[in-house]
Amino acid sequence: MKRLITFRHAKSGWDQPALRDFDRALNDKGKRAAVTMGRHMRQIGLGFDAVVASPAVRVVETLDAMFDGYGRRPAVNWDRRIYLASAPTLLEVVQETADAIGTVMLAGHNPGIEELVLRLSTDTGEEEIRARGEIGEKYPTASVAELTFDVQRWEDVGDGGGHLVRFVRPRDVDPALGPDRLS
């Protein structure tokens, strides 16, 4: 059994338009969301053996804040291929994971993360259909999806072979972290 956790970076700022996209940092709400999601993952026992992530500033800062909330700071394999990657590229990264690793967290960007989760999972039950619908509507920043695969080797992970166990958005944990509403 293999388990994949996908984690989209938290909300980043657009207050410095001259900055390269790669260098955009988190805004305050994004930092709060990442810490909150880290605490939530710890509380529900969502563990991982390895982390592979985009080296973009907003992903680095997301993981730093999430690890603060999680209470553990594992080593991260920074992989430039994940920066703005498509689902096929992300799948290649997953399939290259060492088989000794049972659970890997992949931290990156949309639309690739969303497309990967939808590509790998199937509609096998009411909860999975609901979660896939939410993901298809929007995979918000700082959201986490957990998929399991009945395989022994990561290279055998493929289209439709996963079970979507959960999808958690920051607003599901703390409603104040939901979308900003105009009055």
What's the structural domain count of the chain? Answer: 1
Look at residue 85 and tell me if it is in a domain: yes
Instruction: Return d(Cα 104, Cα 97) in angstroms, integer.
Output: 8
**Mind listing the pLDDT tens digit for each residue in 58-102?**
999 999 999 999 999 999 999 999 999 999 999 999 999 999 999
Q: Residue 9 maps to which CATH number?
A: 3.40.50.1240
Look at residue 183 and tell me if it is in a domain: no
Count the Cβ atoms, other than its own, within 10 Å of residue 80.
10
Return all residues near 170 (Cβ < 8 A) that are at least 6 apart: 10, 33, 36, 37, 140, 141, 142, 143, 177, 178
Look at residue 66 and tell me if it is in a domain: yes
Q: Where are the alpha helices (DSSP H) in 1-152?
A: 28-43, 57-70, 87-95, 112-120, 126-137
Domain that includes residue 149, residue range: 2-13+21-177
Look at residue 107 and tell me if it is in a domain: yes
Instruction: Return d(Cα 61, Cα 137) in angstroms, integer.
Output: 26
Look at residue 31 and tell me if it is in a domain: yes
Look at residue 137 and tell me if it is in a domain: yes
Q: pTM higher than 0.85, yes or no?
A: yes
Please give the share of the chain, as a percent, with pLDDT higher than 70. Answer: 98
Look at residue 173 and tell me if it is in a domain: yes
